[in-house]
Structure 1
Amino acid sequence: MEEGFDVGARLRQLRQERQLSQRELAKRAQVTNSTISLIEQNSVSPSVSSLKKILDALPVSITAFFAGEEPSHPRPFYRAEELTEIGDGVLSWRLVAARRPDRRMSVLHERYPPGADSGEDMLEHDGEEGGVVISGHIEITVNGEVAVLSAGDAYYFDSRLPHRFRNAGDTECVIVSANTPPSFSDGGEVLHHGQSGAEG
């Protein structure tokens, strides 16, 4: 997560704005009550898939969760430190132009340290996504098919298929990816996979 970003306080603020109890939000997100409580106390750092499941229940996009207010004049260039971190504290997903109004795609600079995983819950969302591995190795599962990709290898698939990213190697993996429409980081119609109580 971005240094200084208070995930727990932000989740509590959004939950209270919608007049939801921790219990009600947990029920909607199909996670345990203690999961919401622990995240709000910053006792645990949720995986990307767990956080997405909770935000979908609000509903709030991951971008809106981390980015805050949009600027009035979009700009064409972004320095490395200006990318918005939407990862889970272990893996890093830095989103380009997070606050840009009416953004039609998401471009991510992704870093997976050894052992990093997008979560046991498979991700599913509208759109298509693709990327190129810049360095290291990544194991990607798409609809039951598994491949380990190395630097220079690439992927492209329908994001509605259940998918997962995992670094099973011993070096960091770096990927540059894009998805359109930006349904993963901006909410939208999300296909839920019906796993109740699963926590990433």
Structure 2
Amino acid sequence: MSEKKPYEEIAPRLRGLRDACGFSVEDMAGRTGASAEEVSRFESGASEIPVSYLFKAAQACGVDTTVLISGGDAHLKAYTLIRMGEGLAVDRRKDYTYKSLAYRFTGRKMEPFIVTVPPKPEDGLTFSHHPGQEFIHMLEGRLEIHIGKTSVILQAGDSLYFDSNFPHALRGLDDKPAVFLDVII
């Protein structure tokens, strides 16, 4: 028996939330900037779900993204403190490791993560795109990011802000993982 992928566990929560809000698939598409086909695919568990989509779906329904990611509810409103090594593991992609740094804060306007990207050959890149913008600040290692037809290499201390509607792919370099702060809006 194979284990469910994280997005397969999130999919029924997405569908249930949309139903609870009384939105059709087309309504949710219009509120999130996704196509109706993408909304259906995300809700069926047929494909990975971009964090930016989860964020916009939660906003459209007036709930916290934590509800969709973990099934639990965020409770803190004034601040939340996440100590080193803590954070909610969000295994939404097989390529990267994500840890949410604000999962306990309700009413977030952004989604900050610590992301670890393993090294891989250039022909192993997986491109994705999603509505919104991203800010990356490198903490460890070296990262190659492809945005459209451009390639940029970042190292510890470097930052990059980009429009995540453009297809993008990441890989660690030098046979080491790259670790960075990723803020998705």
CA distance in 1, matches of 2:142, 2:14: 33
Pair 153,97 (structure 1): closer, same or farther in 2 beyond 3 Å: closer
Aligned with residue 47 of structure 1, among 40, 50, 64: 50
| Aligned-residue identity in percent | 15
- Deviation at 1:16? 1.1
**Paired position in structure 2 for 1:66:** 69
1:100 aligns with 2:101: no
Matched, 1:89 2:93: yes
Structure 2: distance between partners of 1:103 and 1:93: 17
Taking the aligned partners of 2:65 and 2:75, their CA distance within structure 1 comes to 17
CA distance in 2, matches of 1:52, 1:72: 17
What displacement does 1:33 show?
2.7
Aligned length: 171
TM-score of the two chains, using structure 1 as the length reference: 0.59
1:62-121 deviation digits (Å, cap 9, x = unpaired): 4453253234697745474x522446323333122420357798652112344255x334
> Any gaps of 5 or more consecutive residues in structure 2?
none
Counterparts in 2 of 1:97 and 1:36: CA distance versus 1, 3 Å: closer
Q: TM-score, normalised by structure 2?
A: 0.63
- RMSD of equivalent CA atoms: 4.1
Indicate the structure whose relative CO is greater, using CA pairs within 8 Å and at least 6 residues apart.
1
Aligned to 1:22: 25
User: 1: distance between equivalents of 2:44 and 2:108?
Assistant: 32
The answer on whether the counterparts of 1:111 and 1:172 sit within 8 Å (CA) in structure 2 is no
* Deviation at residue 146 of structure 1 after TM alignment: 5.7
Equivalent of residue 124 in structure 1, options 107, 112, 133: 133
Q: Secondary structure at the match of 1:167?
A: strand
Structure 2: distance between partners of 1:72 and 1:49: 21
| Alpha-carbon distance in 2 for matches of 1:120, 1:104 | 20
- 1:155 has 2:164 as partner: no
Displacement of 1:15 in angstroms is 0.4
Partners in 1 of 2:130 and 2:110 — Cα distance?
A: 23
